[in-house]
Amino acid sequence: MRRRRRIDGPAPKPLLRVLESERLTLVAASPELIGSDLAGTRDLASVLEADVPIEWPPELFSTTVMRVAQNQLLDPSEQGWSAWYLLLRGSERPILVGLCQFKGRPDPAGSVEIAYSILPGYRNRGFATEAVARLVEWAFGHRNVVQVAAETMPHRTRSIRIMEKNGFVLEGPGSEQGVIRYVLRKSGGR
């Protein structure tokens, strides 16, 4: 009879895919990371080794949205094409300030869609603009991506400003009634 060896100590932390920008560390979601998010801020703070503000999660990222992302990420090739947690560096411990999310892998035409949301206490400081810029750069680093799109409501002027600062231009109506669509095309794209 074989004996199982017991390993003492905490379970190893999952490997996290990260990107860096000037002030932020962007952490790609995994099923385990989203699971810790859904379990509560204490679990999420432990996995990210960051402070998680009381107002977590940001608007637009409901439990349902995060469960869909978690299921999407059961396919390992989807990592990076789903949610990214935004950590503000510069203090003793990073602070979780928001989320960005690609809505899946590029379509056959080479287009991906991005969404973003920052916690209220961290808005108007350029964090969403910075995160979108870094994720657009990451997406355009993939040969098959020629366009990044984002949709919003016409009255969401902050969201529109984030897109415009990143070079997105109004394309027209979005995929749903009352929504507008902005796009950014890769320079020299096909």
Model confidence, pTM: 0.89
As a whole number, the mean pLDDT across the chain is: 91
Q: Is residue 177 predicted with pLDDT exceeding 90?
A: yes
Q: Is residue 1 part of a domain?
A: no
Residue 172 lies in a domain: no
Domain count across the chain = 1
Read off the CATH number of the domain in which 106 is found: 3.40.630.30
Q: How far is CA 146 from CA 39, 101, 128, in A?
A: 36, 18, 21
What is the percent of the chain where pLDDT is above 90?
81
Binning pLDDT at 50, 70 and 90, where does residue 61 land?
confident
Give me the domain span that covers residue 102: 18-146
Looking at residue 134, its amino acid is R
In this structure, is residue 166 part of a structural domain? no
Q: Note the pLDDT tens digit of each residue in 26-40.
A: 999 999 999 999 999
Is 76 among the domain residues?
yes
Question: Per the domain annotation, does 91 fall within a domain?
Answer: yes
